[in-house]
Amino acid sequence: MQINADLHCHSTVSDGWLTPTDVVRRAAANSVALLALTDHDEVGGIDEACGEALRLGVRLLPGVEISVTFLKETVHVVGLGIDHRDRQLLEGLESVRSGRVQRARKMSAALDAAGIHGTFEGASRLARNPAMVGRAHFARYIVSTGLMPDVSTVFQYYLARGKPGYVEHEWASLDDAVRWIRGAGGVAVLAHPARYRLSTDELHRLLDRFVACGGEGIEVVAGAHTEAETVKFAAIARRWGLLASRASDFHGEGESSVDLGRSSNLPPDLTPVWTRFV
Ligand code: AMP
Ligand code: MN
Ligand code: MN
Ligand code: MN
């Protein structure tokens, strides 16, 4: 069953450009039937999004995208259909968020050393939710100074792992993230798997561990995936017995490769993760 489901996107509660209300409005305008708002490590936008979704007749799944450290790489796990008031989940997310501002100060110091100044203040000003200041806000600030043409170039030169502004950070463990999601009644989905810098062996270890601790889905169609990567991760979904998700990972116009609800369809033989919700 193909429906226009978009199960991963961001609002101003983390590093998206649109308020939760405007995310839902844009999704409705793009004929999205089932939407999940999945801000980074924070569920503070869900109630607002639910209100607008009810008004516009969009089905909204409460969601979250949890930052995880696995084999020193940052991996993202999306939780879909969570109870966003679950106490263990909320405490877990708070612990994940707690190091962000400190990390941002370290990033700013590292960028100072690389000759780019004032980035902590600049990025914090751009973050509607300063507790969630992240690399996207740093990138936008640096673009606003005229130093770099666009966000992806800033990542390429300064903010990607191994670049001068990158700071190692320990996020949640994979097991904890999946446990919080499941404890809140949600389905854990491995986000944009093609984005991780893992060897084939390491990727297989991630998948094995993810399934062993209760992960159930994987983004096969993701904003950051090429067609070839979709083919690759469709095969992985089959081999590991994972439900397939379709995800724009929309952050805002001009910054995302695909708009809300405009991703390609899932390969028809896969079981969509939304069969768990519709
Ligand atoms: P953070 O959680 O602060 O480390 O930031 C991660 C966010 O940075 C992602 O969710 C994206 O929004 C953004 N991001 C990461 N890598 C890139 C990239 N190569 N180009 C553009 N945005 C990126
Ligand atoms: Mn983001
Ligand atoms: Mn992500
Ligand atoms: Mn995302």
CATH number at residue 138: 1.10.150.650
pLDDT digits (tens, 9 = 90+) for 2-19: 899 999 999 999 999 999
Centre of ligand 3 to C-alpha 124, Å, is 20
**Average pLDDT of the residues in 251-269:** 96
Region of 110 on the Ramachandran plot (φ > 0 left; ψ -120 to 50 alpha; else beta): alpha
Residue 46 lies in a domain: yes
Same domain for 194 and 155? no
**Which residue, judged by its Cα, is nearest atom 4 of ligand 1?**
135
**Average pLDDT of the residues in 165-170:** 97
Residue 164 lies in a domain: no
* Statement: residue 278 has pLDDT above 90: no
Same domain for 174 and 259? yes
Helix/strand/coil for 124: helix
- Ligand 1: which of 11, 14, 15, 138 to mutate, judged by most atoms within 8 Å of the beta carbon? 15
Residue 45's pLDDT is what?
Answer: 98
CB proximity list for 11: less than 8 A, separation 6 or greater: 18, 19, 20, 22, 23, 37, 39, 45, 49
Helix axes 135-144, 119-126, angle to 10 degrees: 110
Residue 165 lies in a domain: no
pLDDT digits (tens, 9 = 90+) for 155-167: 999 999 999 999 9
pTM, to two decimals: 0.98
Same domain for 130 and 27? no
Same domain for 140 and 233? no
Residue 80's pLDDT is what?
Answer: 99
**Which residue, judged by its Cα, is nearest atom 17 of ligand 1?**
155
pLDDT digits (tens, 9 = 90+) for 210-234: 999 999 999 999 998 999 999 999 9
Same domain for 59 and 186? yes
pLDDT digits (tens, 9 = 90+) for 81-107: 999 999 999 999 999 999 999 999 999
The count of structural domains within the chain is 2
Query: Are the CB atoms for 212 and 185 separated by under 8 Å?
Result: no
- Ligand 1: which of 9, 135, 170 to mutate, judged by most atoms within 8 Å of the beta carbon? 135
Q: Ligand 1: which residues within 6 Å by Cβ?
A: 15, 40, 67, 134-136, 151-152, 155, 160, 251
Query: Are the CB atoms for 78 and 52 separated by under 8 Å?
Result: no
Listing DSSP states for 223-259 in one string gives TT--HHHHHHHHHHHHHHTPEEEEE--B--TTTSSS-
Q: Which one-letter amino acid corresponds to residue 178?
A: V
Query: Are the CB atoms for 146 and 116 separated by under 8 Å?
Result: no
243: domain CATH number is 3.20.20.140
Centre of ligand 4 to C-alpha 45, Å, is 14
Q: Return residues with CB closer than 5 A to ligand 2 (ion).
A: 15
Residue ranges making up the domain that contains 145: 100-159
Residue 182 lies in a domain: yes
Same domain for 185 and 253? yes
Same domain for 91 and 107? no
